[in-house]
A and B are shown apart, each in its own frame.
Chain A
Amino acid sequence: MLVEAILMTTTDHNYLVLPMLMVAAVGFALTPLAAAWAWAHFFSPAKPGKDKNAIYECGLEAKGDAWIHFRSEYYLYGIIFLVFDVETIFLLPFAVAFTGLSVGAFVAMIIFLLLLVEGLVWAWRKGILNWH
């Protein structure tokens, strides 16, 4: 009966089946969620507490505040570390292929190294290497 009615309407409206399927799909997803919410709301009372609402789950009580000040100098150190990091990555293949390199490649590599060293010299002169 119902199937007949649906078939009759779908022959008249060819695309009606699409919103119907969509409603069914959304209902399929939402019904378990609603059931879970209703069960939690009506049958299992919430029992919040100091321990249960605590942020950390290791059993120890948190000491102090998590909103502490991080010094920006740390990030400058991180950036300077990159100078040495990139240098190491390029120096190793440079050393391995050193004897087979042409003069042009050698000059290009030295320029690249000088660029990195320039960054270090800049940081040094700025006084970033001293920890305040």
Chain B
Amino acid sequence: MIEAGLKNELQKQGVYVTTLEDLYNWGRANSVWPLTFGLACCAIEMMAASMARFDLARFGAEVFRPSPRQADLMIVAGTVTKKMAPLVVRIYNQMPEPKYVIAMGACAISGGPFKQGYNVLKGVDRYLPVDVAIPGCPPRPEALIHAIMTLQEKILNQKLTGPDRARHLNADVPGEFLVPAYGKQDLEPSKNTEVWQPPAIQR
């Protein structure tokens, strides 16, 4: 492991040093392949982001894969209904590690304008470990690009070794998440408490 200060000093003298960790994460961060997966109107903005005007290809994330087996990133773009929620989790489970989730738009974050609806999941983070959340209804393509950049920053800071290493390198962390079942009134269970740990509201 090399100190940041020493690395900086060496760089000033024209000596470039790197670590395997940095190299590995640099490669991963610049080849995030999202899943072709749109649930509602946010998907239109997602498509726009991948097209020529906004050009997601600049960030290495333009290769939208039609199969979860080939994707690294799930962009939950739109309202997740309770009927769709088990399918979303199942598709996420089918993605190989390392995998990341972006909750795009108000609906994916909290249910958004449909929060009061009886059939709307109040945030996909109840079942999936969301890495980046983008507010907006829908968020503009620039916001999605910002989310990808934020995710790249997160990937670049992941560790290869040690107790806080990235999830895909840790054999003890499970690769699959709980798939909710259709209950009589609501999904059962209504949230995955291992993933969803909101702070207690102080009143």
Binding site for B on A (CB under 8 A): 43-45, 47-52, 54, 57-61
Contacts and interface: CB of A to CB of B under 8 A. Distances in A.
A78 B166 CA distance: 55
A57 B87 contact: no
Interface in B69-111: 69, 86-88, 90-91, 93-94, 96-97
Interface residues of B, number: 21
Given A47-B97, A47-B175, A59 B90 contact: yes
Interface of B: 67-69, 86-88, 90-91, 93-94, 96-97, 160, 168-171, 174-176, 179
A50 B68 CA distance: 15
A45 B171 contact: yes
Contacts of A48: 175
A57 B90 CA distance: 9
A57 B93 contact: no
| A contact face: mostly helix, strand, loop, or mixed | loop
A43 B28 CA distance: 15
Contacts of B160: 43
A51 B169 contact: no
Given A57-B69, A60-B87, A49 B170 contact: no
A58 B90 CA distance: 9
A44 B168 contact: yes
9 smallest CB-CB distances across A and B, nearest first, come from A47-B175, A59-B87, A45-B171, A51-B93, A49-B176, A59-B91, A59-B90, A51-B90, A57-B67
Nearest to A49: B176
7 contacts: A44-B168, A47-B174, A51-B176, A52-B175, A57-B67, A57-B94, A59-B90
A51 B67 contact: no
Contact of B93 (A45, A52, A58): A52
A49 B68 CA distance: 14
